[in-house]
Each structure stands twice: as C-alpha cells, then as structure tokens.
Chains A and B, each alone.
Chain A
C-alpha cells in the first residue's frame, strides 16, 4: 500500500481487512486498509475479478448469505462501529447502508410499492406518510415527473434506465447514510447512463456513495476519490484527479493507460 492519507471525516474505515469465500483457505481480499470519506463519491476500479464487488458487499454484509464466506482478518467500521461485531444486526446495518445492483432489479410490483417496500418492512402503514416518502424519493431519484401518472402500474413496464433509477429511489426511501453501487450503469445505454451519473452527482450532497465501475471515464467524471484494486489488493488510493493524472504505482499507470484489464 503506497497511498495513505488521512481523511478528516471518514464514514467507513478499513483496517487490514481480508476476506475469504472458502472459510479462509484463499483470501479474495487481502489486507486492505483505507478510509472512505463522508458525503463524497468514492470509486472502486480494477480489472474484472479483482474483488471490487466482494469488498462492496462486505460493507452491507450481503456476503452473510454465502455460508462459507467470512472476513478473515481486520476490521470494518462504519460510522465508528465495527460492523462485524457480534452485537451488530445485519438487518439494521442494511437500513443504514443501501445498495444498488449491477442489473436493475425492481420487484414485480407497482412503481409505488417498489419505493414503499423498504418503509413497509419497517412497519410503516400510514398511507399519507408512505405517499409523501415515495414522492420525495422519486423526486430525489429524478424520476417523479416521468412516473407520477402511473404509480400503480408495474415497475417492469419502465425502460431500463428508469428501472435503475427506480432502484435508486427505492434505496434512498429508507434514508441510508451510505449507498453502495455496483456497476449501476453497466446494463444501460449511454443516455440512461448520463442520467444516472447526473443523479449520482446530486445525491453526493446527502449520501456517502461508494461506486464500483468498470469504466475509468465514469470514475473520473463522477468520483471524488478513487481506489484501484488488483488481485484483491489495494494498489493505490487517492483523489480521483491525482490518480488519473499522476498515478504513483506502475500497475495503476498500466491499467489506466489500458495496457491490461
């Protein structure tokens, strides 16, 4: 690890984190330490299979669903709490750390019910509370004007870009502190991608965003800081402009200049 700057107000801190899918036989993430700042956009880049998604899914403990997967060393703290401590409830954690997936995946329900889902499972039943929250979230996801006349029709009838923004609306409806995005634009066309990027730009004011992306252009367009991973290791982590204009590591330079990956 070559870059280690002090971030004044980190929302996520990683200290020597290793992660394994097979009960510790091999580590997919290897001794990673860095801090992710609050209310900024942090991008993870790196060749496919280097562990970006894996690390992202550690932040909301989605890897709990895989029986043999576990964090084998180190500590992940989000808002000052060790999220793997036995006292932490993954359900509560996920309410604070939302996630948007690579392939948009709205439920086969109405647009309204999709956005209201996270609130309903928290036991909110009041109709007008739900309606207010749904509208706010849809506006927040820049989708309101497009769908306000058909809130009760199926979400699966929307275009791909709209579906992905609906997923973002669904995520922000529960008011998380952190939003994890795993290649949110990889299934979208350029116009839809532009809209989502614009949205991310707006969301950074309220949320701390961690985004995995395959595209270096995207990373440089939207992120404040960028982390470059290679074979499960963090190679370089710095301000996005610095990383792309003056990479300190040879492998980073090779990667961003397109020599591999």
Chain B
C-alpha cells in the first residue's frame, strides 16, 4: 500500500519535469508491465469461459438431435425389431455355453478315438505322399478305363468287339496299377513302425478311389455315440431359435428400409433445392431435363409410418407363437440337458453349470420382450428425457452403425473412473508416504536426492510411458498373473493403464502433499517432541492430521491429472467400449476398457463436423471438463481453507 503511493508520487514528479520516461498511449512502461501481469489472471478467466462456451456450443444440440434419432428409431420399427433381437441373443448366449460344454465333453469322452483318428490321418498323409507316383499312374489308367468304358457303351455294333478288347486291356492295366499302388502303400506302412496294428490294417485296406476310410468313420461314430444323448438336447436347443432368427432378419429389413426413408427426409429439402438450382443453371436442355427428374424424385413428404410399419404389427401373432415355442424349447432343454455331474470333463461341467442361469435369464428376456412387443406402438412419442438418460446411463456406445447409433456414456465413464481409482490406489500410499518421509524423516542428503528424482518422472513423455506399457509392462503383468494363476486374457487392460497413470500421478500428489506437510508450522512438531512423542507419533498424530486437507487436495488434483490423461490410456487401456464386468471381483482389473479422453482422441478425427456423433463427442468432452473443473475447485478450496488455518 505504502509502496504504491510512494511510486505514484515519484511518477508525478517525473511527469512534472516533462522529460520523463517513455510512454505508450499515455501509459508508462511500468504500468504496462503491471497491466500485463494483472491481465494474465483476467486472460485465464476469459480463456476458461471461451473453452466452456466453445464446448457448450458444439455439444448443446446433442440432446435434441439424439432425441430425434431415438424417435426415428421407434417410428421406423427398429425398436420393435430390437425386441426380437434381444430374445435371439439371450437364447444364443445360453446356447453358446451349452455348445462349448458339448464340444469339450465330446473331445474328452472320445479322446482315445479322436487321437486314433489324428494318428491315422497323419500316417495316411505320409503314406499317400510315399505312394504318389503309383497313384498318378493308377489315376491315368483309371481315366483311360473310364474313357474306354464310355467308348464301349457308345460303340456301334460293328465296333463293339474292338472296343471290348480295349476296355478289357484298360481294366487289366487299372487292376495292376491298383495293386502296385497298394504294394507301395503297404511298403510305406511298414516304415511307420510306431502305429498300432489296427491303424496299420486300416491303412493297408485303403483303396485309391476311396474317400473317407471306413475305419475313420467307425471311430467318428464311436465318438458321437459317447455324447449321443447330450447331442440331442444340444441340437434341439440350437434349432429352436431358427424361426426367431428368420423372423428377426426379415423384419430387420423392413425397419431398415423405413428408417432410410426417415433419414433421407432430413436432407430432402436441401437436396431438392440443389437440383432445382441445377435446373436453372443447366447449360443444355438434356441436362435440364435430367436435373428436373432428379428434383422430382426427391420426396418431401414424411413417410407414411403407419404403412411402413404395418408388416411389424402383422408379424406380432407370429412372433408370439415363436416366443411361446422358444420358451417351451428352453424349458425342455433344461430338463433334457445332462446333469453336469455326469460329464467327464471338469471344464465342460463348469460351462454346463454356467448355462443354467443363462437359460433362466433367456427365459426372462423372452417373456419380458414379448410382453413389451405386444404393447409396442410406433407412434408413441419418445420422452425428451430419454435422450438424457440414454446418454448418461446408456451402456452402449455404437457408432457408424448401419442399424442405429447409440451414445451411451456409462462405459467410458466407468472405464475412466476405474482406471483413475486404480491409479490413485497405487499412487496415493506411495506418494504420501514419500512426502512424509522426505519432509519429516529423511536426512537433508536423502531429501535432496528423492525430491528431484520423483519430480523427474513428470518429464517422461506420456507416449513413452504408453509404449513401455504395451511392450514391457503388459508382458510382465501377464507373466506375473500366470505365475499367480490368475487368467489375464488381455495385455492391455485396466491394471496396466492404472499402473502407468499412477506413475504420472505420483509427482503431482507427492509435490503437493509435501507442500502441505511442509506448511505445518514447526511449532506443532516441537510441542509434540517436547511432550515426549517419538518422530513416528508426531508424524501420525500431529503432522498428518494438520496437513490432511492439503493432502486430500493433493489427492484430488492427482485424480484430476489422471482422469484427464489421454495418451497412456489410448495406448494401454485396451480400448474396448463396454462396462467392465464387476462380478469378476478383482478380475475386473484384467479387462480392457475405453475412456472418455481416449475415445475423444480416437474418434474426433473421423467424424463429420456437426453430426450427431460429433456432438456426442463434444458432450463427453464437456462432461470431462466439468469433472476436472469440479475436482480442481474442491481441491483449491481445501488448500485455501487449510493454509488460512495454518
């Protein structure tokens, strides 16, 4: 305060002397500099508002547009078709488990036979290779024999005798060469010493003009016989869904065609105007004629939805009948499928056990969808709120689909959140402990080593971390998981990304937490020591509780850091858009996910500006920005409150 007034004093003195310093637009250099720095804060606010405004501008029409898209989805009957598709898929996923169980069981029960078949097939190939020359010769002779036979059949009465002679000669040759081939085969079989006698016999009995060996067929039959009963129920289940599949695909085409009309309608007026302009500007009468035709072809009227979707309503009784049969089939399958305990393979048992709840679920889905289907109306309005819930709670993010796009935010959000939480779970204990250690327990020498080292992590470009995650961490994690007996199908997953992001969060959390601890007045520490507390007690009971809001702020800022990180997650998270399966317990960490940031980075480049997809991406960006802003705001408030207290 006093400084300022003093400087303005000297200002007025100088201007009084008129020889003053350089001024620009009547303002002195000092004030320019002052204005520049003061202006920076203002600039930051303007910038923030500009970003906000820009995001909102691009995102704001997402909900109305998405609403229209969902409305069309219903009007065109696509929604109806999806009700069939759901039933189909539910049944299919139950069947898939049964099928797996069946195949595993078949392979296990018939293992001996299947092994013999393989041995036979391998040996057969070798033997045939060996006897290839003889075979070629026989093959030629066989062709000749066929020709001779044809010639004999077609021969005139006069030529019959000579044709007969040729035929007989050809027959003899064929027979001899066949014998020669079989001799070669037998010789080859002798070399295959490791084979069992029955395989050897089967090989010797082969004929050059034989397809599958009866030996092999016998074995196949024996294998099938072992799972014959299972096969019946499995096949029944497989076939039961076929009528539904047929109906679904049939109506799918109807709805897709209707939707196309709805989609083209959106741009119809525009296109018509363009053609009419072409009519005006046409250089030749032919061109004018053509443009006029094109303009006339554009239909401006909305499609008659009632007519478009009539086939769907007509199909409803059929759909009901099919669903009824399907329910029947599922019930029968549950009864007729073998008891898992009777299976010989443990994995097959497991799959079959898993199939039971899936069948129950399929039955529920079929019942529920059929009920919805009967009440479904194409002309019922879709509530506007549906577009909002559809975005925030939607579980599917489907784009560029020839059927229907869905913009469900939930998988991205859960992906981002899960990775961030994993990252913080790893980073927080480490960085807070390191902050406490360097600030309170380490010697000066240690502190001057630890601090820059941790802060150096920040200098690693995130793309380098990403490559490290792909090439090294992924492999090591998989090896580690294998060692522990945890299945890890994907190298790129939540854990991998979480670890790398933890590495990126450590410097942020460490530095800020260290600041917070450093800001604890040393008087508290002294008081604690003077009361006979150990260093450890002092840290735990005085220093950390005093710094806690600062430490929480540090953690929140770390969270803001990781949830906004893009490159690492794009490279390492696996980029699979689906809500991770939490029923897997900790196994959820081994699943691939996609994130808000990764998705925006990946998809923005390839969408049309202003399209629904474009707006959806901006909506995601807007939500991300709001999350970051909130987290930052809370942590700043905490820091401010706590530094006032200190």
- Residues of A that sit less than 8 Å from B by CB: 60, 62, 65, 67, 91-92, 94-95, 98-99, 101, 103, 105-109, 117-118, 120-122, 156, 167, 170-171, 174
A62-B526, A167-B527 known; A105 and B532 CB under 8 Å?
no
Question: Is the C-beta of B324 less than 8 angstroms from some C-beta in chain A?
Answer: no
A67-B444, A103-B523 known; A117 and B528 CB under 8 Å?
yes
Q: In the assembled complex, which residues on chain A have CB atoms less than 8 Å from the CB atom of B537? A: 121
Question: Is the C-beta of B75 less than 8 angstroms from some C-beta in chain A?
Answer: no
Chain A nearest CB from B435 CB (Å) reads: 19
State whether A107 touches B530 (Cβ < 8 A).
Answer: no
How many B residues touch A, CB cutoff 8 Å?
Answer: 20
How distant is the Cα of A122 from the Cα of B532 in the complex, in angstroms?
A: 8
State whether B523 touches A117 (Cβ < 8 A).
Answer: no
- Which residue of the partner chain B has the closest CB to A118? B531
State whether B531 touches A62 (Cβ < 8 A).
Answer: no
Q: In the assembled complex, which residues on chain B have CB atoms less than 8 Å from the CB atom of A99? A: 530
User: Per-residue 0/1 for B524-565: is the Cβ within 8 Å of any A Cβ (1 yes, 0 no)?
Assistant: 101111111110010001100110000000000000000000
Question: Is the C-beta of B19 less than 8 angstroms from some C-beta in chain A?
Answer: no
Interface residues of B in 442-482 (CB under 8 A from A): 443-444
Which are the 6 A-B pairs with shortest beta-carbon distances? A105-B523, A95-B532, A99-B530, A118-B531, A94-B532, A121-B533
- Report which of B523, B527, B532 forms a contact with A92, defined as CB distance below 8 A: B532
Q: In the assembled complex, which residues on chain A have CB atoms less than 8 Å from the CB atom of B444? A: 67
B526, B529, B530 — which one has the most chain A CB atoms within 10 A of its CB? B530
Chain B nearest CB from A93 CB (Å) reads: 8
A67-B444, A117-B541, A121-B541 known; A91 and B532 CB under 8 Å?
yes
State whether A101 touches B523 (Cβ < 8 A).
Answer: yes
Chain B nearest CB from A69 CB (Å) reads: 14
State whether A98 touches B531 (Cβ < 8 A).
Answer: yes
Q: In the assembled complex, which residues on chain A have CB atoms less than 8 Å from the CB atom of B541? A: 117, 120-121
- Report which of B530, B531, B534, B546 forms a contact with A108, defined as CB distance below 8 A: B546
30 A-B residue pairs with Cβ-Cβ distance under 8 Å, sorted by A, are A60-B530, A65-B529, A67-B444, A91-B532, A91-B534, A95-B531, A98-B530, A101-B530, A103-B523, A105-B523, A105-B527, A106-B527, A107-B524, A107-B527, A108-B524, A108-B545, A108-B546, A109-B545, A117-B528, A117-B533, A117-B541, A118-B533, A121-B528, A121-B531, A121-B537, A121-B541, A170-B527, A170-B531, A171-B530, A174-B531
How distant is the Cα of A95 from the Cα of B531 in the complex, in angstroms?
A: 6
Q: In the assembled complex, which residues on chain B have CB atoms less than 8 Å from the CB atom of A101? A: 523, 526-527, 530
- Report which of B443, B532, B534, B546 forms a contact with A107, defined as CB distance below 8 A: B546
Q: In the assembled complex, which residues on chain B have CB atoms less than 8 Å from the CB atom of A109? A: 545
- Which residue of the partner chain B has the closest CB to A108? B546
Question: Is the C-beta of B6 less than 8 angstroms from some C-beta in chain A?
Answer: no
Chain A nearest CB from B309 CB (Å) reads: 70
State whether B530 touches A94 (Cβ < 8 A).
Answer: yes
How distant is the Cα of A82 from the Cα of B533 in the complex, in angstroms?
A: 21
A62, A101, A118, A121 — which one has the most chain B CB atoms within 10 A of its CB? A121
A107-B546, A108-B546, A120-B541 known; A62 and B530 CB under 8 Å?
yes
How distant is the Cα of A156 from the Cα of B524 in the complex, in angstroms?
A: 12
Q: In the assembled complex, which residues on chain B have CB atoms less than 8 Å from the CB atom of A62? A: 526, 529-530
Interface residues of B in 180-197 (CB under 8 A from A): none
How distant is the Cα of A103 from the Cα of B526 in the complex, in angstroms?
A: 11
Q: In the assembled complex, which residues on chain A have CB atoms less than 8 Å from the CB atom of B529? A: 62, 65, 94
How distant is the Cα of A108 from the Cα of B548 in the complex, in angstroms?
A: 12
A67-B444, A108-B645, A121-B541 known; A94 and B531 CB under 8 Å?
yes
Taking A62-B526, A91-B533, A101-B530 as given, write out 5 further A-B residue pairs in contact, using a Cβ cutoff of 8 Å, ordered by the A residue number. A101-B523, A101-B526, A105-B526, A120-B541, A167-B527
State whether B531 touches A105 (Cβ < 8 A).
Answer: no
Chain B nearest CB from A36 CB (Å) reads: 18
- Which residue of the partner chain B has the closest CB to A93? B532
Question: Is the C-beta of B521 less than 8 angstroms from some C-beta in chain A?
Answer: yes
How distant is the Cα of A95 from the Cα of B528 in the complex, in angstroms?
A: 11
How distant is the Cα of A170 from the Cα of B529 in the complex, in angstroms?
A: 13
A62, A67, A94, A106 — which one has the most chain B CB atoms within 10 A of its CB? A94
- Which residue of the partner chain B has the closest CB to A156? B645
How distant is the Cα of A200 from the Cα of B366 in the complex, in angstroms?
A: 86
User: Per-residue 0/1 for B496-534: is the Cβ within 8 Å of any A Cβ (1 yes, 0 no)?
Assistant: 000000000000000000000000010110111111111
Q: In the assembled complex, which residues on chain B have CB atoms less than 8 Å from the CB atom of A67? A: 443-444
How distant is the Cα of A99 from the Cα of B532 in the complex, in angstroms?
A: 10
Chain A nearest CB from B549 CB (Å) reads: 11
Interface residues of B in 620-646 (CB under 8 A from A): 645
Chain A nearest CB from B630 CB (Å) reads: 27
How distant is the Cα of A117 from the Cα of B523 in the complex, in angstroms?
A: 15
User: Per-residue 0/1 for B66-91: is the Cβ within 8 Å of any A Cβ (1 yes, 0 no)?
Assistant: 00000000000000000000000000
Chain A nearest CB from B25 CB (Å) reads: 51
- Which residue of the partner chain B has the closest CB to A117? B531
A67-B444, A94-B529, A117-B541 known; A105 and B524 CB under 8 Å?
yes
Q: In the assembled complex, which residues on chain B have CB atoms less than 8 Å from the CB atom of A167? A: 527
How distant is the Cα of A94 from the Cα of B443 in the complex, in angstroms?
A: 23
- Which residue of the partner chain B has the closest CB to A95? B532
Interface residues of B in 286-338 (CB under 8 A from A): none
State whether A121 touches B532 (Cβ < 8 A).
Answer: yes
- Report which of A65, A106, A174 forms a contact with B532, defined as CB distance below 8 A: A174
How distant is the Cα of A122 from the Cα of B528 in the complex, in angstroms?
A: 12
Q: In the assembled complex, which residues on chain B have CB atoms less than 8 Å from the CB atom of A170? A: 527, 531
How distant is the Cα of A65 from the Cα of B533 in the complex, in angstroms?
A: 13
- Which residue of the partner chain B has the closest CB to A119? B531
How distant is the Cα of A117 from the Cα of B546 in the complex, in angstroms?
A: 14
- Report which of A107, A156, A171 forms a contact with B542, defined as CB distance below 8 A: A107
How distant is the Cα of A171 from the Cα of B527 in the complex, in angstroms?
A: 9
- Which residue of the partner chain B has the closest CB to A97? B530
Chain A nearest CB from B534 CB (Å) reads: 6
How distant is the Cα of A65 from the Cα of B440 in the complex, in angstroms?
A: 11
Q: In the assembled complex, which residues on chain A have CB atoms less than 8 Å from the CB atom of B532? A: 91-92, 94-95, 118, 121-122, 174
Chain B nearest CB from A200 CB (Å) reads: 17
How distant is the Cα of A80 from the Cα of B177 in the complex, in angstroms?
A: 121
Chain A nearest CB from B542 CB (Å) reads: 6
How distant is the Cα of A143 from the Cα of B524 in the complex, in angstroms?
A: 21
Q: In the assembled complex, which residues on chain B have CB atoms less than 8 Å from the CB atom of A60? A: 530
State whether B523 touches A171 (Cβ < 8 A).
Answer: no
Chain A nearest CB from B39 CB (Å) reads: 38
Q: In the assembled complex, which residues on chain A have CB atoms less than 8 Å from the CB atom of B534? A: 91, 121
How distant is the Cα of A91 from the Cα of B526 in the complex, in angstroms?
A: 13
State whether B531 touches A171 (Cβ < 8 A).
Answer: yes
Chain A nearest CB from B366 CB (Å) reads: 62
Q: In the assembled complex, which residues on chain A have CB atoms less than 8 Å from the CB atom of B546? A: 107-108
Chain A nearest CB from B241 CB (Å) reads: 67
Chain A nearest CB from B132 CB (Å) reads: 89
- Which residue of the partner chain B has the closest CB to A92? B532
Chain A nearest CB from B537 CB (Å) reads: 5
Q: In the assembled complex, which residues on chain B have CB atoms less than 8 Å from the CB atom of A105? A: 521, 523-524, 526-527
Q: In the assembled complex, which residues on chain B have CB atoms less than 8 Å from the CB atom of A122? A: 532
How distant is the Cα of A108 from the Cα of B525 in the complex, in angstroms?
A: 12
How distant is the Cα of A91 from the Cα of B530 in the complex, in angstroms?
A: 8
Q: In the assembled complex, which residues on chain A have CB atoms less than 8 Å from the CB atom of B645? A: 108, 156
- Which residue of the partner chain A has the closest CB to B443? A67
Chain B nearest CB from A82 CB (Å) reads: 19
- Which residue of the partner chain B has the closest CB to A109? B545
Q: In the assembled complex, which residues on chain B have CB atoms less than 8 Å from the CB atom of A92? A: 532
Chain B nearest CB from A157 CB (Å) reads: 12
- Which residue of the partner chain A has the closest CB to B546? A108
